[in-house]
A and B are shown apart, each in its own frame.
Chain A
Amino acid sequence: MNKIVLLILVVSAFSITSVHAQNKDSLSFDERNKYIYYQVAEETKVKADTLYERALHFLKNAFENDRLKLSKEDKDKAILTGKGGFMVTKKALVSMQDDAKITFNMVIEVKDGKYRYWFTDFAAIPYRRDRYANFSPVDGKKIPLEQGLRKLGQKTLDDYLEQTLINCRNISGVLKTYMQKPSGTPKNDGIKRSVTTKEW
């Protein structure tokens, strides 16, 4: 019994430590008073041109178009811009239902040996039930998250910000993977290669 209690305490402590470690990055306000998720990362041995190509490859291929797509490229300034969106859900009867879509812009800027990126211009498009029992966007509604307290209420805004942060972290993780490897990385085509069992 004592061992079980000890194990639970160790696991709990580990979980709390992990959460704190993950929370080092967070949403902040930029100079325009807009929410921003801003990160700088290093790839010390990689030239700017290469990082640019890898970032371009990321924006073109990493996600479905409705989640993140390339919207502008400027090679002279070494800046790429993408547009994206993700669904935020709320608890329904026994499952989750679409509550809104959060749209955002993502900017990636590269230099020799490092790059920075940020997500900003977050706006919520509310969803509601339509005549076909689907949840679809409310016509004409787009609420910048900076106005969320007034238009969505504290609880909803907090929920949206939390899900926004999680989404930014997820995309960041994928970006870092793309920035670490050559941009021509072929997609997994799902074809199983033959395996030899004679040597091992």
Chain B
Amino acid sequence: MKRKLLLLSIMSAAIFTAKAQDSTLSITGSVDTYYKYDFADPKGGLGQIPTSFATDHNSLSIGMVDIALKKKISKAAFVGELSFGPRGQYQSIPAGDGNDLNGTNSFHIQNLYISYDLTDKLNVTAGYMGTFIGYEVISPTANFNYSTSYLFTNGPFQNAGFKATYTFSDKVSLMAGIFNDQWNGYRAFENGMDNFGAQLGLHPVEGWDAYLNVITGHTMGTEFDLTTAYQITDMFKLGLNAAVYSSSDYAKANFELPGFAGVALYPQVAVSSSVSLGLRGEYFKFKSDGPDVKAITATANIKAGPLTFIPEVRLDSWNEEAFEKKNGDPTKSASQFLLAAVYAF
């Protein structure tokens, strides 16, 4: 009996010690899965709408398991976010270091950075970070819609570099930084850190946030982006994303990247504490007389604790015959239904 009590005491002490040591370590993440049906029933297992993620047709498919570690001690913090699965690997991050031998290798890293608060108002961060450009993000827990916009798909996903953020007041902040030459890459390639990026954050009134973003460089070109959201009433929120991208000569020659411009509107209504309904209406156009598309997506978020069900219907209409009908005839429009489940932990 005494031995058991002693053992119990030692175990308790060990648990308390472990908790004390790990008290600031945060482990969070998500798991997501979905079923999608493209109403043209295309062959080959893939849907027709060409934006990111939720690609598979008539299939119960996986998104990713995403695990983020974060720790902050005093003024120093790190974030390491790993992801596994189609959404968390080849659909959102590059493979290896770009060499042939690493062609199919993945580092699984969505975010890897270290930051330090130089003062209460000034923070510096270095590493590989989710991009500051745009309204939508890679993590399904931070998006309302499960499918993504054309603006998201065609903009940067991550930027590796160094940035400094200064908070002037509750209403104004400014970030400026230098980033690697190619968007999304883990390292710089031919042109070093030739991207300059900046974000002006404005919070004019309670409930309204606006971010004016720019990233510009010789390698990739220049993108200007406005991301804003206004919680107009307790129930109603309106978001807006507008961007224009001019491809550089280097990007045209090496990556065949066209320029683009677009705008997306995100009205959302909270029906109750667990149910919200939202629309995404987007107009997107490739520059230089390229095609354009109008897309509308109706989405619901139904929350049950950490689990969110996302039923969604989407209709895309191009100004040229970009899709196929069920009988194989070309058509300008395509539509799809999907049901996703996202568990956040």
Contact with A along B231-242 (1 / 0, CB 8 A): 100100100000
> Is A47 located at the chain interface by the 8 A CB criterion?
no
Give the interface size bracket for B toward A.
35 or more
> Is A195 located at the chain interface by the 8 A CB criterion?
no
Q: With A4-B5, A152-B273 as given contacts, are A131 and B231 in contact (CB-CB < 8 Å)?
A: no
Whether the Cβ atoms of B139 and A132 lie closer than 8 Å is: no
> Is B207 located at the chain interface by the 8 A CB criterion?
yes
Return chain B residues, CB-CB under 8 Å to A140: 206-209, 229-231, 237
Chain B min CB distance to A59 (Å): 18
List CB contacts (< 8 Å) of A126-141 with chain B: 128-135, 139-141
Which of B129-137, B176-184, B188-196 has 4 or more CB atoms under 8 Å from chain A?
Answer: B129-137
Return chain A residues, CB-CB under 8 Å to B345: 92-93
Chain A min CB distance to B149 (Å): 15
Whether the Cβ atoms of B130 and A131 lie closer than 8 Å is: yes
Q: Interface on chain B toward A: helix, strand, loop, or mixed SS?
A: strand
Q: How far is the CA of A139 from the CA of B229 in the complex (A)?
A: 7
Contact of A129 among B5, B142, B237 (CB under 8 A): B142
Q: With A132-B130, A134-B70, A134-B79 as given contacts, are A142 and B26 in contact (CB-CB < 8 Å)?
A: no
List CB contacts (< 8 Å) of A107-160 with chain B: 128-135, 139-142, 147, 150-153
Whether the Cβ atoms of A1 and B1 lie closer than 8 Å is: yes
Whether the Cβ atoms of B28 and A93 lie closer than 8 Å is: yes
Q: With A129-B139, A130-B142 as given contacts, are A95 and B22 in contact (CB-CB < 8 Å)?
A: yes
Q: How far is the CA of A1 from the CA of B4 in the complex (A)?
A: 12
Nearest-neighbor residue (CB-CB) of B5 within chain A: A4
Chain B min CB distance to A67 (Å): 13
Q: Interface on chain A toward B: helix, strand, loop, or mixed SS?
A: loop
Chain B min CB distance to A153 (Å): 5
Return chain A residues, CB-CB under 8 Å to B70: 133-134
Q: How far is the CA of A134 from the CA of B26 in the complex (A)?
A: 10
Return chain A residues, CB-CB under 8 Å to B110: 133
Instruction: List B residues at the A interface (Cβ < 8 Å).
Output: 1, 5, 22, 25-30, 68, 70, 79, 81, 110-111, 113, 120, 129-132, 137-139, 141-142, 206-209, 229-231, 234, 237, 273-274, 344-345
- Identify 4 new A-B residue pairs, CB closer than 8 A, beyond the known A132-B111, A132-B130: A92-B345, A95-B22, A129-B141, A139-B208
Instruction: List A residues at the B interface (Cβ < 8 Å).
Output: 1, 4, 65, 92-97, 128-135, 139-142, 147, 150-153
7 A-B residue pairs with CB within 8 Å: A4-B5, A128-B141, A131-B137, A133-B79, A133-B81, A140-B230, A142-B207
